[in-house]
Structure 1
């Protein structure tokens, strides 16, 4: 069964993500702990924020593609890559944005982000 999550940026819009099998244990643990929320932080073309989830590296990747949704173990952070920037260090990719990626360009530092189960 395909698993999806919704990322809502309050007052900006909603993004849909399909979780994939690049880091299945990380994706499953995130999904089981939803809903999660926090204040957006920006780094180049990446939105991230710390979440109360501890998980080690599973299949770490030093690079990302536009639309990747990832978990960064050293900072216990949820990350959305919406442009060409790359992670500061290895991440566990857990899914891909399938709808609404353009909304991420309007996100500002401190915008409230809510992640919840979609299906």
Structure 2
């Protein structure tokens, strides 16, 4: 299942796992609009969807992971280090550019293509998330 995430400077698609309770709850809420927030090299935004933390939730993820932050009812899209990443502020080559989320998040899928495009999202940008027909 694919979604498109759009903001004034661009858009990205993502492939989600159909079988998680969080993906199912999120897709039922689509399309949705929200306001982007940035935290280091992570974009996140409120979805209006409330779900429980799943047993396989993770805090450290790969760039381009589509995660759901249950503590904030938000989609979290890391593309690089955050302020709590190990080695924050050091050159990426010295610590690998770890993506450490604020707390363990439910993993929904991955962005298609280069996650670095998220660097064009500005704090306060309007964001739209929609389902792409299969």
Fold match, TM over 0.5? yes
Aligned match of 2:51: 55
Task: Look up the match of 2:2.
Answer: 4
Instruction: Work out whether residues 64 and 114 of structure 2, in 8 Å CA contact, stay in contact via their aligned partners in 1.
Output: no
Residue 28 of structure 1, CA deviation: 1.1
TM-score, with structure 1 as normaliser: 0.89
After TM superposition, which residue ranges in structure 1, 4 or more long, deviate above 4 angstroms? none
2:104 aligns with one of 90, 97, 100:
90
TM alignment of 1:1-119, pairs within 5 A: 3-10=1-8, 12-20=9-17, 24-58=20-54, 59-83=56-80, 84=97, 85-99=99-113, 101-119=115-133
SS in structure 1 opposite 2:59? coil
Q: For the Cα contact (< 8 Å) 1:6–1:16, is it kept in 2?
A: yes
CA separation in 2, counterparts of 1:107 and 1:28?
A: 26
- Report how many residues are paired: 115
Instruction: Point out where structure 1 has 5 or more consecutive residues left out of the alignment.
Output: none
Q: What is the rounded CA distance, in whole Å, between the counterparts of 2:60 and 2:102 in structure 1?
A: 9
What is the root-mean-square deviation in Å for CA atoms of aligned residues? 1.4
1:5-24 Cα shifts (integer Å, max 9, x gaps)? 000012x1110100026x71
Matches of 2:119 and 2:77, distance apart in 1: 11
